[in-house]
Amino acid sequence: MSESEKWRSKWVAPFLRHLSGERRLSAYTVRNYETALEAFFEFLDSCGKWQGKLEKVNLREARDFVIEQQNRVSRRTVHNYVSGLRTFFKYWIRQGMLEANPLNGLSLPKLPKKLPAFMTEKQVKRLLDGPMLALENESITPYQAWRDRLVLELLYGAGFRVSELCDLTYGQISFDEGVARIVGKGGKSRICPLGRVAIAVLEKWRREFAVGTAYLDPVILSNKRVKWSPRGIQLLLKKYLALADLPHDLTPHKIRHSYATHLLDNGADLRLVQELLGHAKLSTTQIYTHVNIGRLKQAFDQAHPRA
């Protein structure tokens, strides 16, 4: 093991275990922290000053790291890196290994508020129709068609995050009540109504295609009949976006944005949507009240005497 690998093993590995074990963050989120730390430690190695001693890292090196990254990645990624590093150093301060956070005093320009992209209801319908159209064209098997239909129904019909969908087991679903009990970010639990269409697809999937339906058996399976990965679901979505002639940059999370936006458009209470999404703060959900400018203009045109 090289010196660099030893340093990473000493400082990074315990922190990542803390994130996944104690804070119960998703594998995807933990990987994002790891990416930020890898970039930072590669930079420190190139400087050759810290020699594996975290207490030697200072504000100047942190600023130099930010300057270097600004030429490599987007502004948003730089902000994410710095946020991850702050959390990393706070962890080691709490462990008594550091006295101060070397990122104290580091400021970044504020990012412009990014409104979440979402699909129209017509676009969602085209997307959800994709698996059955592919089955009619005999380009996929019935197993794949109903699995893919189920994935899309749960992403839009229940607002699942990809990691939540991959981790979903039969023990979390109440078919009688039509709900799923989800453990989301930070171990926060919530109840997700599934809706009659999603339940119908789920029941057909369980009855005709499921390998196992015991309490801990995963619901969503790959073509090899094992628990599916987030990457597999992302690739599935790309395929059906192309089939429906929809923008290729739509992601599973943007389907979740669509779920929230359409709920609010159709009169759902903001706090109810907060609960359905599993947001800890109402402010996180409030951003969805700003996204449908077209609906606001339509209401204005219909109601205002000077429109």
> pLDDT (tens digit, 9 = 90+) per residue, 66-121?
999 998 999 889 999 999 999 999 999 999 998 889 999 898 888 776 656 788 89
- Looking only at the bridges linking them, the beta strands covering 179-183 and 173-174 are antiparallel
pLDDT digits (tens, 9 = 90+) for 116-138: 678 889 999 999 999 999 999 99
Residue 33 appears among annotated catalytic residues: no
Q: Is the pLDDT of residue 228 over 70?
A: yes
Q: What is the pLDDT of residue 234?
A: 93
Contact criterion met (CB below 8 Å) for 150 and 194? no
What is the value of pTM for the model shown? Answer: 0.65
Contact criterion met (CB below 8 Å) for 164 and 184? yes
Burial pattern 90-102, b for ≥16 Cβ within 10 A else e, equals ebbeeeeebeebb
Contact criterion met (CB below 8 Å) for 278 and 182? yes
Out of 17, 56, 253, 297, pick the active-site residue: 253
Out of 147, 190, 257, 279, pick the active-site residue: 279
pLDDT digits (tens, 9 = 90+) for 27-53: 888 999 999 999 998 888 887 766 667
Spans of all domains in the chain: 3-94, 121-298
Residue 8 appears among annotated catalytic residues: no
Contact criterion met (CB below 8 Å) for 29 and 16? no
Residue 288 appears among annotated catalytic residues: yes
Residue 18 appears among annotated catalytic residues: no
Q: How far apart are CA 242 and CA 250, in angstroms?
A: 11
Question: What is the residue whose two structure tokens read 């979505």?
Answer: 237
Residue type, 211: V
The architecture of the domain spanning 121-298 is Orthogonal Bundle (1.10)
Residue 279 appears among annotated catalytic residues: yes
Out of 8, 161, 190, 262, pick the active-site residue: 161
Residue 271 appears among annotated catalytic residues: no
Out of 81, 240, 259, 288, pick the active-site residue: 288
Instruction: Tell me the average pLDDT across 164-170.
Output: 94
Q: Is the pLDDT of residue 63 over 80?
A: yes
Q: Enter the tokens of residue 4.
A: 């660099």
CB under 8 Å to 43, separation ≥6 — which residues? Answer: 61, 64, 65, 68
Out of 23, 185, 239, 254, pick the active-site residue: 185
pLDDT digits (tens, 9 = 90+) for 247-276: 888 888 889 889 988 888 888 888 888 888
